[in-house]
Structure 1
């Protein structure tokens, strides 16, 4: 009645042991008094009706208190009176461990019965019986979910081709085989009604197969994937179209030079430039920079396809007549032509003087204002600096308020300038912020400085 029996565990791999050995199973911490429990086995199909043979899976859960190392020994009990092999699971740790045990039984005919699990150690206990039944039914060719089912789908990539019909695959056909359970599948490809390819593959869930064609003349048609075993199936028809035509020779690659820009740097009297090198296709382009007709730099740029690349002429010093202005030329040479572009550059000019200013400092106080119930007056000084003779325009900012007067001084090097403020009314202290701002020949600032001055205490009577 019971056939093809197999047992397995979710926990550690089981080890075979004799019943006598199982009876001696102990724990490192004396688990003989531990409480062990086991659930009644549950069947995957408690009351099965359908085609046979059929495999029924049983499982049960054993709970074992563990303290240290423990060996769990158990076996399956069957409704026909037979007993399974003793299995041993080694456990370690602390607390209650849960172990799920499983077995599978294949039945070829009708049966009603039960399964149970008997724990032999660390403490002997037997589960309640888990009942089940199997009723084998002749389905007379009716398919069930137990039967292998295969389906197929096909497509062409590309589905349309126009171009030279030279050797090599132009249309590729791909088929997707799907199965409801792992199986070997035999298939064949049909092209316009003729078998052109076949094979056998193992399919676990889905798998692609394919072939390609290299047409030598214009045509249209279809391909179809046929499943010939273990099931019969046909995919959809994958339609395709081919138009054979002569290829047009690619135009000759042309090169050019564009967008030349020059720049004169008056500091050190130097000139530099940059421009674009262009190609209409794959090419190696050689280029040459020239200043006033004299070659000064050469190089090359490689193009894998059409495009533009920027090339630069690093700054170089100008002397003599070249410092008075001139021309820069970029010449490019490709596999089929040459091109050049020229641009003037400006003469060097002496750099214009620039101005800067030191921080503002308090240069003195005027305590005479203290007699008028005011704080002392405060005088300030700062130093203007220029890199050459120039007119410096500036103004003072007191307590965040700009003075209305813009002052001018001729500066060639360093020049001290001063400013003053009156004492604060009805106060013995004068305080605030002071700043000097340069507006020409360039912008500069001393930065904002805080100041404070207090009237001296009156002399003792």
Structure 2
């Protein structure tokens, strides 16, 4: 066992040897150290979060930025990456720089957070010299959106809808509504109510009425082919609500009521119940500046001239006529377009001729 005195002498000798070795190394490496002292000094600021302390609905995006200063003497490459508070790292980004003097580079990143978090971000420069910034702290506090709190001062509105009949089976080549939809609007005090009807996802009618306790509104459809679907009454104000969906079904049956007199038996040219029928089909679209465009067609099963007219909110805009041959058929007609702003209204296509008359009305709203 080494004595304490001998140990101290050995330690002193070791220390002296270490000092000599250090001096020797210093003398040998002094040129390199001088070069190191003159090497460019790279600095990087602590990342700044915007916003730094967020409170509100989530998910939300937080933006981070930091500045890196690099002295330049020609060309160099700046390599860096982001360090995250959870221990992960971003990919290495490389920016090529050139010039003389100190250049400041702003690096940025954005992170989306879906829940509460308190953390930090840092920037690690890997070249031309390795240096790591201080930590930039941030926090995210997610809050549920506040629901509108209703009081006794707010008007309460309810709506209910039904179809009458809910199922129709019969001829569809006749005029008049086959299915009528009725809606009942109730309020707890007299109020003006804005509403609209939606048929199979499309707005077909709308209006504004004064409701004191309860009031009915409605519209009807005259399908020309078998179908099924639904209608819903939607209240827009003063309290947004919707009725149930009123479902309906239409089954069109072709019934031929030919003239059964004996002198017409076996005569293929005997007219059936479709002879002389006439129908109008209209379509409305809105464009830039709430311009209105109407297009349509006329179907007739009888030869002759069919006259038609277009009306917007009750005012006739254009008229015309179309000729049908012996076999009748369906033909497109000239439509119309407006240049003035008309945000809402109804467009009506009216037709008349040897086969009778018909109208098709469409409502529109330009938002």
Q: Which structure has the greater CA radius of gyration?
A: 1
- For CA contacts below 8 A with separation 6 or more, give which structure has more relative contact order: 2
TM-score by length of 2: 0.35
Structure with higher helix content: 2
More strand by percentage:
1
* TM-score (norm: length of structure 1): 0.28
